[in-house]
Amino acid sequence: MLIDTHAHLEMLGDGAAQAVERAKSAGVGKIVSVSTKYETALRTVEIAQKFDSVYAGVGIHPHSASTFQSGTIKTFSEMASNKKVVAIGETGLDYHYIKSPREIQIESFEAHVEMAGRLELPFVVHVRDSEDDVAEILKNANCGDKPGVIHCFSGTYETAKRFLDMDFFISFSGILTFKNAPEVREAAKKIPSDRILIETDSPYLAPVPMRGKDNEPAFVKHVFETLAEVRETPREEMRQLLFRNTLELFPRLN
């Protein structure tokens, strides 16, 4: 079984059900659907409750950090009592497209990290052109053991190592399959085998050979195949490794 550790099923609207079925047919047995706003968190949890194979993450993406309010954390904490909620996020910092002021992003991120620690849930981190600030916040936080995942990794091994040294997992998306991403494949070769995950980040970043199409959880198999090839690891061994890693990070998937 493969697991897509990061998708946005609520963005598919009425197509979510068909995407879940196509994923099952492709051997993708579980999907972690991650929210980006308060409104999408509600919808994401609804989808997770509807489908046995779907689980939820609740959080506010840095692009939407301006919508963050103190009461949001209380609401997310209550939502996390639902065992289908397996993570806090997507949270983090994005300094590439600054759609929310940096100071607001930082406030929201710090609140999510604190909430995840208090609830003893892993958190899903978005990092774009913000590695220094993200690393500093995480270093100063009480994140606990195996605190979360740097999702949709697109950097070098040196960048990954900063987060590996804090016991984070690194998740690879369709970017791993792109011809213009040799540094990402080089990082994927070097990262310890017990810290690797895969995802689609669907409906974004469709992998080769599905470029030009809307991404969906079924396509995580292409990320998986590329990762096995890059690491020169038999596919069945890689499948088992990824399954163990995912359940270690997200114990509520059991």
Find the mean pLDDT for residues 152-163. 98
Cα–Cα distance between 102 and 187 in angstroms, integer? 28
pLDDT in tens, 12-57: 988 999 999 999 999 999 999 999 999 999 999 999 999 999 999 9
Cα–Cα distance between 125 and 110 in angstroms, integer? 11
Please give the model's pTM, rounded to 2 decimal places: 0.96
CB 87 within 8 A of CB 34: yes
pLDDT in tens, 243-253: 999 999 999 99
* pLDDT band for position 144 (cuts 50, 70, 90): low
3-state class (DSSP) for residue 3: strand
The conformational region for residue 234 under phi > 0 = left, psi -120 to 50 = alpha, else beta, is: beta
Torsion sign across C-alpha atoms 112, 116, 119, 122: positive
pLDDT in tens, 211-240: 999 999 999 999 999 999 999 999 999 999
Measured CA angle at 124 (ends 123, 128), to 5 deg: 135
User: How many Cα atoms occupy the beta-carbon half-sphere of 201 within 13 Å?
Assistant: 22
Mean of the per-residue pLDDT values of the chain? 96
254, with CB counted inside 10 A (0-12, 13-18, 19+), is exposed
Measured CA angle at 188 (ends 182, 191), to 5 deg: 140
Cα–Cα distance between 245 and 144 in angstroms, integer? 17
Closest CA to 153 of 178, 170, 174: 170
Set out the domains of the chain in order of their start, with CATH numbers: 2-253 (3.20.20.140)
